Amino acid sequence: MTGLGTIVNTGAVIAGGAAGYFLKKGIPEKYKQTVMQGIGLSVLFIGISGTIKEMVTVVNGNKLDRQFIMLMIFSLVTGGIIGEFLRIEKRLENIGDWIQSKIPAKGGSFSEGFVSASLLFCVGAMAVVGALEDGLTGSTSTLFAKSILDGVTAVIFGATLGIGVAFSSVSILVYQGCITIMAGFVKPWLTDTVVSQMSLIGGILIFAIGLNLLEIKKIKIGNLLPAVFIPIIYYIFKNLFGF
């Protein structure tokens, strides 16, 4: 376990978000809506491609494994119930509001930038798989690649959503750091199927972020975040109790 990948990823988002924030004044207001729509479409594409990729990995012949699909549905439903009970999205917004009250941030919604960027940078397959690799083998290649992508994305987000994007680095540090630390404990259950299932759900949530950015439908993605971890909990119980 190193944690180096998460530290680099955190630094990239801080730098990118801050750079985007300072570039914000140079972008005329009339262009920002079009830029955000472009970002939203890009996020939709990333979510769709990631979801399809993970589904293809479990194709048996020409037929998807029924258990894989059922577990995906179960994970989203159960995770949503847990997240709604814990009010994760609201708590993220409260954290954003609290940070905003402590700094002289002007213009735009700090909470919107903080929450949107936190979810985008945390729910993807690279966040989960990269943090697991870092914790299990010390390999940081996936998180280093993610750092480049997140840094560039943070510049664009920071220019449109404000300084809250840079502070989403706190979410990355906590989220990926916890996965890296816990990786050693859950190693016996981290089969390729489990990782694919977690990545599939991450892709679906990224797609949902795109819907939010395009203002097509407001989805409480933060409350669905526990769904990413339901597959590994399911397989642990399955192996322990044999159901």
**Contact assessment for residue 129 and residue 199, using Cβ atoms and an 8 Å cutoff:** yes
Q: Kindly state the tokens that stand for 94.
A: 């409260």
pLDDT digits (tens, 9 = 90+) for 139-185: 788 888 889 888 888 988 888 888 889 999 999 999 999 989 888 78
Q: For the chain, which residues make up each domain, given as ranges?
A: 4-24+31-241
pLDDT digits (tens, 9 = 90+) for 209-228: 888 878 788 888 889 989 98
Q: What is the mean pLDDT of the chain?
A: 82
pLDDT value for 78: 94
Task: Classify residue 27 by its DSSP letter.
Answer: S
Handedness of CA 74, 54, 46, 149 (dihedral sign): positive
Position 238 pLDDT exceeds 50: yes
Of 32-36, 42-46, 146-150, 166-170, the range with the highest mean pLDDT is: 166-170
Which residues, 6 or more positions from 169, have their beta carbon under 8 angstroms from its beta carbon?
10, 11, 13, 14, 17
Position 41 pLDDT exceeds 90: no
In this prediction the pTM is 0.76
**Backbone torsion region of residue 133, taken as left when φ is above 0, otherwise alpha when ψ lies between -120 and 50, otherwise beta:** alpha
Which residues, 6 or more positions from 170, have their beta carbon under 8 angstroms from its beta carbon?
none
pLDDT value for 157: 85
pLDDT digits (tens, 9 = 90+) for 98-112: 877 766 555 456 888
Q: What are phi and psi of 64, to 5 degrees?
A: -70, 145
